[in-house]
């Protein structure tokens, strides 16, 4: 009888362990929130591989166009449908952290970031003095030029100073019979905040100015250095080296001699220019006083309200930190360099992707990382960026002079900063 009781107890325990094992392996669904341009060919292969290695996990993508992405994240969180995994623009970080959307990374994740990523990328994911994600894509700005057009204008190399750029742009600009520009010596892109603000920040910093005070309580773009930087841009308009109708997207057509652009545009140029891609050259943005350019970052994070934070961080570390293959790179590094056409921010990925990162287009961007500054992560960063864009464009259109435009920008930005700092 006792033996029967022992056997019964053992069977019960085995059944309990079996039930426990089944329960522990119940399917976990991780929602991955990304923007459209990050959803390139090959991403699904990594997701499916991770699911094969972890049969109890399913990863489901939610893909949103960039212009709607921040609002989508916020609305989803408020309605209780937030994601587990996020890939976000660093400029939104303060807002996402302070509103309780992002989870603070575990200590081992922070340690990995501090140890293995280039310093400017670490700056990009630092919010209110702490690390809040894993850096992924980093994008700095360079002068991209058409070698053939410069040669036809009698130039053997790109400009090194802003004065040289203005003079060359003026000489390389051509007009049709109606007085419209048919070939741009230089072009901006009005209406796209990054194409307006990031090149201006590069010039501001190059001229010795600052965007914000160290405590983020005051906007400093209307300093003498800031006004001088914007006036330098305005010379391109007044001396007919550009106009507000120009677009960086016309560069592949062979009608733009120079522009300022980020590294991710390479694939577009290769695809659209064909054999003419050999005409593309890349150089540092012409210096005003010192060599410096602007840079922005993206990072991987986890939802604070996720039920599966541990599993979510494990996935991101598998993507970003686990070194694999003969080239000793990470999966995120492979995806960024080979599929997205962006510069990865982990040191080993920059070193071990020579084919993708040491070509005629990207190699100069890598060199310039040493001279790159990340745009500051500030509260209401997207709103502040739009204000600065609008005021710079007002100067481009001639409705305000440089000083008035930047004074108006500083006043509006100071009002926002006063609410948060």
Counted domains in the chain: 2
Query: Is residue 17 in some structural domain?
Result: no
Q: What is the mean pLDDT of residues 216-232?
A: 98
Residues 271 and 390 in one domain: yes
| % of the chain surpassing 70 pLDDT | 94
Residues 398 and 273 both lie in one domain = yes
Based on the fold, state whether residues 314 and 181 are members of the same structural domain: no
Phi-psi region of 297 (alpha: psi -120 to 50; beta: other; left: phi over 0): beta
Residue 101 sits in a domain of what CATH number? 3.40.190.10
The pLDDT tens digits for 347-402 are 999 999 999 999 999 999 999 999 999 999 999 999 999 999 999 999 999 999 99
35 and 123 in a single domain? The answer is: yes
The residue from 334, 355, 373 where one domain ends is 373
Domain contains 223: yes
pLDDT at 14: 42
Residue 197, token pair as written in the block:
């603000």
| Residue 26: pLDDT band with limits 50, 70, 90 | confident
Q: Which domain holds residue 344?
A: 24-139+296-373
| Same domain assignment for residues 234 and 173 | yes
Asked if residue 57 and residue 82 are part of one domain, the reply reads yes
Q: Is residue 276 domain-shared with residue 291, that is, in the same domain?
A: yes
Taking residues 310-334, what's their average pLDDT?
97
105: which residues sit within 8 A by CB, 6+ positions away?
113, 131, 132, 133, 134, 301, 302, 313
Q: What is the pLDDT of residue 25?
A: 64
Within-domain flag for 83: yes
In eight-state DSSP terms, residue 156 is S
The Cα 241–Cα 166 span in angstroms is 7
In the block, which residue shows the tokens 């809040």?
132
pLDDT digits (tens, 9 = 90+) for 157-178: 999 999 999 999 999 999 999 9
Domain shared by 132 and 68, yes or no: yes
Virtual torsion, Cα 161, 162, 163, 167, nearest 10 deg: 110
Q: What is the Cα–Cα distance from 385 to 195, expressed in whole angstroms?
A: 11
Task: Please tell me whether residues 199 and 94 are part of one structural domain.
Answer: no
d(CA 168, CA 236): 10
- Length, in residues, of the chain: 421
Q: Is residue 223 located within the same domain as residue 149?
A: yes
Per-residue pLDDT at 17: 41
Average pLDDT over residues 279-299: 97
What does pLDDT average to over the chain?
A: 94
Instruction: Examine the domain organization and report whether 411 and 361 are in the same domain.
Output: no
Residues 149, 291 within the same domain: yes
Burial 14-34 (b: 16+ CB within 10 A, else e): eeeeeeeeeeeeeeeebbbbb
How much is the pTM? 0.91
Q: In 239-308, which ranges are continuous DSSP H helix?
A: 266-273
Residue 1 lies in a domain: no
Q: How many CB atoms lie within 10 A of CB 9?
A: 10
């Amino acid at each position: 009888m006792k033996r029967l009781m022992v056997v019964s107890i053992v069977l019960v325990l085995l059944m309990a362990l079996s039930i426990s094992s089944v329960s522990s392996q119940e399917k976990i669904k991780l929602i991955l929130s990304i923007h459209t341009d990050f959803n390139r060919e090959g991403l699904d292969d990594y997701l499916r591989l991770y699911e094969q290695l972890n049969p109890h996990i399913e990863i489901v993508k939610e893909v949103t166009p960039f212009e709607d992405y921040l609002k989508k994240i916020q609305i989803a969180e408020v309605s209780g449908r937030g994601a587990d995994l996020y890939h976000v623009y660093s400029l939104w970080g303060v807002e996402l952290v302070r509103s309780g959307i992002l989870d603070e990374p575990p200590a081992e994740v922070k340690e990995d970031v501090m140890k293995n990523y280039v310093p400017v990328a670490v700056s990009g994911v630092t919010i209110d003095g702490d690390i809040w994600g894993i850096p992924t894509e980093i994008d700095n700005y360079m002068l991209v030029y058409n070698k053939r057009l410069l040669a036809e204008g009698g130039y053997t190399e790109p400009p090194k100073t802003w004065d040289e750029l203005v003079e060359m742009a003026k000489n390389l600009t051509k007009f049709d019979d109606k007085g419209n520009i048919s070939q741009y010596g230089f072009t901006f892109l009005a209406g796209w905040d990054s194409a307006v603000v990031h090149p201006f920040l590069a010039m501001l910093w190059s001229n010795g100015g600052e965007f914000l005070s160290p405590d983020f309580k005051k906007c400093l773009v209307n300093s003498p250095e800031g006004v001088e930087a914007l006036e330098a841009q305005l010379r391109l308009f007044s001396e007919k080296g550009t106009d507000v109708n120009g677009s960086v997207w016309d560069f592949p057509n062979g009608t733009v001699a120079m522009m300022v652009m980020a590294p991710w545009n390479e694939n577009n140029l290769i695809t659209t220019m064909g054999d003419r891609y050999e005409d593309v050259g890349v150089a540092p943005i012409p210096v005003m006083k010192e060599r410096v350019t602007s840079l922005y970052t993206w990072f991987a994070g986890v939802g604070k309200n996720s039920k599966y934070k541990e599993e979510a961080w494990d996935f991101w570390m598998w993507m970003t930190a686990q070194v694999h293959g003969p080239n000793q790179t990470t999966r995120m590094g492979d995806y960024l360099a080979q599929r997205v056409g962006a510069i990865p921010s982990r040191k080993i990925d920059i070193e071990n992707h020579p084919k993708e990162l040491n070509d005629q287009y990207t190699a100069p961007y890598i060199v310039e990382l040493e001279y790159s500054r990340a745009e500051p992560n500030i509260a209401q960063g997207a709103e502040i960026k739009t204000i600065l864009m609008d005021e710079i464009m007002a100067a481009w259109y001639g409705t305000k002079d440089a000083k008035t435009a930047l004074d108006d920008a500083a006043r509006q930005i100071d009002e926002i900063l006063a609410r948060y700092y």
